[in-house]
Structure 1
Amino acid sequence: MSRFIPVDRQTSYLFPPSVEDWLPENHLARFIVEVIERLDLSELTRQYAGRGSAAHHPAVLLGLLIYGYATGLPSSRKVERATYDSVAFRYIAANTHPDHDTLAAFRRRCGEQFEQLFVQVLMLARELGMLKLGKIAVDGSKVKANASRHSALSWGHIKKIEAQLRQEVKQLMALAESEDRKQVPDGMDVPQEIARRQERLAALDEAKRKLEERARERDAQAQAEYEAKVAKRQAKRDAGKKPGGKDPQPPSAGGPQDKDQINLSDEESRIMKVGGGFDQCYNAQAAVDADSMLIVAGFVTQAGNDSQQIEPMLDVLARRQEQLGRIGQVLADTGYFSAANVAACEEAGIVPMIAMKREQHHPPMLDRFTEPPPLPHDATAVEAMAHRLKTKTGRADYALRKQTVEPVFGIIKHVMKFRQFLVRGKQNVAHEWSLVALAWNLKRMNVLSMA
Structure 2
Amino acid sequence: MTNFILTDRKTDYLLPPSLEDWLSEDHLARFVVEVVDQLDISTPTRQYAGRGSKAYHPATLLAILVYDYATGVFSSRKLERATYDSVAFRYISAGSHPDHDTLATFRRRFLGELEALFVQVLALAQEMKLLKLGTVCLDGTKMHANASRHSALSHGHIEKLEVQLKAEVQELLALAEKADQADVPDGVSLPEEIKRREDRLAVMADAKRKIATRAQERYEREKAEYDEKMTQRAVKEKDSGKKSNRKPPKPPEAGPKDSDQINLTDEESRIMPTAGGGFEQAYNAQAGVDAATMLVIATQVTQATNDKEQVEPMLAILAAQSQSLGEVTCLIADTGFCSEKNIRACEKAGLEPLIAVARDAHHPHWRERHSEPASLPDNASPTDKMRHRLKTKAGRALYALRKQTVEPVFGIIKSVMGFRQFSLRGLQKVRGEWQLVCLAWNVKRMAKLRPECG
> TM-score band (shorter)?
over 0.9
Contact 1:233 1:243 in 2 (8 A): no
1:198 aligns with 2:198: yes
Question: Match of 1:282, SS?
Answer: strand
**2:392 aligned partner:** 391
**2:406 aligned partner:** 405
TM-score normalized by structure 2?
A: 0.97
**CA drift at 1:91:** 0.4
Aligned residues with identical type, % of pairs: 59
Larger deviation, residues 308-317 vs 407-416: 308-317
Q: Find the aligned partners of 1:69 and 1:243 in 2 and give their Cα distance.
A: 59
Q: Find the aligned partners of 1:151 and 1:413 in 2 and give their Cα distance.
A: 24
**1:270 aligned partner:** 270
Contact 2:272 2:279 in 1 (8 A): yes
**2:289 aligned partner:** 288
1:116 aligns with 2:111: no
> Partner amino acid for 1:98?
P
Q: Over the residues paired in the alignment, what is the CA RMSD in angstroms?
A: 1.4
1:22 aligns with 2:32: no
Alignment of 1:185-264 (within 5 A): 185-236=185-236, 246=246, 248-249=248-249, 251-264=251-264
Contact 1:64 1:92 in 2 (8 A): yes
Q: Find the aligned partners of 1:202 and 1:93 in 2 and give their Cα distance.
A: 47
Question: Match of 1:418, SS?
Answer: coil
Contact 2:138 2:287 in 1 (8 A): yes
> Partner amino acid for 1:36?
V
> Partner amino acid for 1:287?
G
**2:444 aligned partner:** 443
TM-score normalized by structure 1?
A: 0.98
**1:146 aligned partner:** 146
Contact 1:84 1:97 in 2 (8 A): yes
Q: Find the aligned partners of 1:354 and 1:245 in 2 and give their Cα distance.
A: 30
Q: Find the aligned partners of 2:239 and 2:162 in 1 and give their Cα distance.
A: 55
Q: Find the aligned partners of 1:252 and 1:335 in 2 and give their Cα distance.
A: 23
1:127 aligns with 2:132: no
**CA drift at 1:46:** 1.2
**CA drift at 1:251:** 2.5
Q: Find the aligned partners of 1:120 and 1:142 in 2 and give their Cα distance.
A: 27
**1:430 aligned partner:** 431
Cα distance per residue 1:164-218 (max 9 Å; x no partner) = 1101100100100012121211111001110111111000000000000001001
Inter-CA distance 41–259: structure 2 relative to 1 (3 Å threshold): same
Larger deviation, residues 243-252 vs 128-137: 243-252
Q: Find the aligned partners of 2:49 and 2:253 in 1 and give their Cα distance.
A: 51
> Partner amino acid for 2:399?
Y
Contact 2:83 2:96 in 1 (8 A): yes
**1:175 aligned partner:** 175
Q: Find the aligned partners of 1:316 and 1:252 in 2 and give their Cα distance.
A: 31
Contact 2:226 2:252 in 1 (8 A): no
Structure 2: unaligned runs, 5 residues or longer? none
**CA drift at 1:233:** 3.7
Q: Find the aligned partners of 2:341 and 2:244 in 1 and give their Cα distance.
A: 18
**1:359 aligned partner:** 360
Question: Match of 1:181, SS?
Answer: coil
Contact 1:226 1:248 in 2 (8 A): no
Q: Find the aligned partners of 1:392 and 1:306 in 2 and give their Cα distance.
A: 27
Question: Match of 2:301, SS?
Answer: strand
Q: Find the aligned partners of 1:389 and 1:244 in 2 and give their Cα distance.
A: 32
**CA drift at 1:363:** 1.2
Cα distance per residue 1:297-348 (max 9 Å; x no partner) = 0110101111111111111111111111111111111111111111111111
Cα distance per residue 1:238-264 (max 9 Å; x no partner) = 667768554745634330100000000
> Partner amino acid for 2:181?
R
**1:373 aligned partner:** 374
Alignment of 1:57-76 (within 5 A): 57-76=57-76
> Partner amino acid for 1:265?
T
Inter-CA distance 250–369: structure 2 relative to 1 (3 Å threshold): closer
Contact 1:135 1:329 in 2 (8 A): yes
Structure 1: unaligned runs, 5 residues or longer? none
Question: Match of 1:281, SS?
Answer: strand
Question: Match of 2:273, SS?
Answer: strand
> Partner amino acid for 2:410?
F
Cα distance per residue 1:139-166 (max 9 Å; x no partner) = 0000000000100000000011111110
Q: Find the aligned partners of 1:181 and 1:201 in 2 and give their Cα distance.
A: 25
- Count residues in correspondence: 451
**2:416 aligned partner:** 415
> Partner amino acid for 2:294?
M
Cα distance per residue 1:264-309 (max 9 Å; x no partner) = 0000000011121111000000000000100000110101111111
**CA drift at 1:231:** 3.2
Q: Find the aligned partners of 1:241 and 1:114 in 2 and give their Cα distance.
A: 56
Q: Find the aligned partners of 2:335 and 2:252 in 1 and give their Cα distance.
A: 30
Inter-CA distance 381–249: structure 2 relative to 1 (3 Å threshold): closer
> Partner amino acid for 2:200?
R
Inter-CA distance 360–249: structure 2 relative to 1 (3 Å threshold): closer
Q: Find the aligned partners of 1:229 and 1:106 in 2 and give their Cα distance.
A: 48
**2:105 aligned partner:** 105
Q: Find the aligned partners of 2:244 and 2:139 in 1 and give their Cα distance.
A: 33
Cα distance per residue 1:16-42 (max 9 Å; x no partner) = 211111111111000000011100001
Q: Find the aligned partners of 2:313 and 2:230 in 1 and give their Cα distance.
A: 25
Inter-CA distance 38–242: structure 2 relative to 1 (3 Å threshold): farther
Cα distance per residue 1:122-151 (max 9 Å; x no partner) = 011111111111111000000000000100
